[in-house]
Structure 1
Amino acid sequence: MNRPCILVIEDEQHIAGGLVFNLEAEGYRVLLAESGEAGLELLQQEKIDLLVLDLMLPGISGYEVCRRLREKLPRLPVLILSARSEERDRIKGLKLGADDYLTKPFSLDEFLLRVGGMLKRSEWYRPDTTGEIIFGNNRVDLSEGLADGRRGEIRLTEQEIRLLQVFFEHEGEILSRGELLQRAWGMDPATETRTLDNFVARLRKYFESDPAEPRHFLTVRGRGYRFVPNPTGEQES
């Protein structure tokens, strides 16, 4: 069986060396690039199964790497590692298409769990929901990873597809944060992370006529989120 290939783009040698050593110890094939430009070249030359991406790089930034690769590889799992811990940095990375975000310093065990979970979901994920899902003025094809929303055609990332599938399969139900993290990310339900909220905000920008007053992807205060395909009357937001 072919080993998953992981590309690490990281310029700090002591961090890069540790990541490569531990990923190889887990049985992965690992490629290392020390700049964004070198990383983009490897993404063109090699079949990569997962990208581990630092943000602060010489030359072009990790943000720019993420933006460029999403134009041609919308489904590649991307895990950002960064010393930038402020919420706006996390939001910016996720908006550009990253699937997850860990701040430095991070737990090696948690890093390896995130990598293993992302690869497993990417390998085994097959949308159970077939055909087109239509709600409001939106149309979503999970099997093709394409959608038509308020901004026109959207190429969905693998993580966006997984989250949408969970919502579609449980339409009308209140799903707790823990349930969504477990079902869409494979995370421990008790994990403290804002990643889920940032992804819901992204779906609202894609599909809500007014993201500030959502009608389909609703927050149920103190309980979680709910997807409502055909809202009637007043809804919680």
Structure 2
Amino acid sequence: MTQKILIVDDEISIVTLLTYNMEQAGYETDYAYDGLEAIKKARAIHFDLIILDLMLPEMDGMEVCKYLRENHIQTPILMLTAKEDEIDKILGLELGADDYITKPFSPKEVVARTKAIIRRADQSRKSTQGSLKIGDLFIYPERYEAEMNNEIITFTRKEFELLHYLANHLGNVLSRDQLLSAVWNYDFTGDTRIVDVHVSHLREKIEPDSKHPSYIKTIRGLGYKMEEPK
């Protein structure tokens, strides 16, 4: 089945450029010129990836990303923006975007990132078979959810993928660079804050006391380790 991409940008020239290059790479495409239209299409149609501009009319890219993740639409998102501010990059990834590219861009790079994100999502789906139990935490990969004390816990895609990776490497110390490479599949050189932010969010959701974590431990100077609570 041909994989389908939703291109969201208010510049017709950008949509035309990306549509041409995506179709040349073998993808089927659809498009939206504002945030509300993007949400409507993302809810109604299955896409393998959304290329989402940050600066949009009606509803900006950050709001679109947040809305989709809060409504459990886990379609991978490649954020596209003219902004170079580091805080926008971190915020976009924190809200659930899978990657980030800055205008002006090379269409070949966008295609390469698209292939990498979709490949990563496919691998993640194949590897998330079977539930896991760690302490009182039950992890359900097929649902991107966990359960503790009979309460369902929901996550953004990246929060869950980080949790699942830590759980699958129970007892192992994992560096921030290892986690960036494994979960985000992209080299954010020198910037590991996104890992710390996501670990903080996970602790708020799964730890009985997030200030004294019993599941995800910080190993000072090395990284993080998930372990059975004592």
* Mapped pair 1:9 → 2:8: yes
* Mapped pair 1:227 → 2:226: yes
TM value normalised by structure 2? 0.81
User: Cα distance, 1:181 vs. partner?
Assistant: 2.9
One-letter identity of the residue aligned with 1:79: L
Secondary structure at the residue paired with 2:120?
A: helix
User: Cα distance, 1:108 vs. partner?
Assistant: 4.3
Deviations 1:11-45 (A, max 9, x none): 13333333222222211111111101121222233
* Comparing 47-56 and 99-108, the one that deviates more: 99-108
Q: How do residues 1-237 of structure 1 correspond to structure 2 at under 5 angstroms?
A: 2-106=1-105, 108-124=107-123, 125-128=125-128, 130-135=130-135, 138-148=137-147, 153-187=152-186, 191-194=189-192, 195-230=194-229
TM value normalised by structure 1? 0.79
User: Cα distance, 1:212 vs. partner?
Assistant: 5.0
One-letter identity of the residue aligned with 1:77: P
Alignment partners' CA distance in 2, 1:128 and 1:211: 26
| Matched residue, 1:234 | none
Count how many residue pairs are aligned between Structure 1 and Structure 2.
227
Q: Is the 1:74–1:156 Cα contact (8 Å) retained in structure 2?
A: no
Describe the shift of the 1:72–1:86 C-alpha distance in structure 2 as closer, same or farther (beyond 3 A).
Answer: same
One-letter identity of the residue aligned with 1:220: I
One-letter identity of the residue aligned with 1:178: D
* Comparing 191-200 and 163-172, the one that deviates more: 191-200
* Comparing 5-14 and 86-95, the one that deviates more: 86-95
User: Cα distance, 1:139 vs. partner?
Assistant: 3.3
Alignment partners' CA distance in 2, 1:103 and 1:197: 23
Alignment partners' CA distance in 1, 2:121 and 2:81: 23
Alignment partners' CA distance in 1, 2:114 and 2:137: 32
Unaligned runs of 5+ in 2: none
Secondary structure at the residue paired with 1:51?
A: strand
Alignment partners' CA distance in 2, 1:36 and 1:149: 35
Unaligned runs of 5+ in 1: 232-237
Backbone CA RMSD of aligned residues: 2.9
* Comparing 27-36 and 60-69, the one that deviates more: 60-69
Give the helix-richer structure, 1 or 2. 2
User: Cα distance, 1:54 vs. partner?
Assistant: 1.4
User: Cα distance, 1:167 vs. partner?
Assistant: 0.8
Alignment partners' CA distance in 2, 1:82 and 1:198: 22
Q: Is the 1:216–1:229 Cα contact (8 Å) retained in structure 2?
A: yes
One-letter identity of the residue aligned with 2:45: E
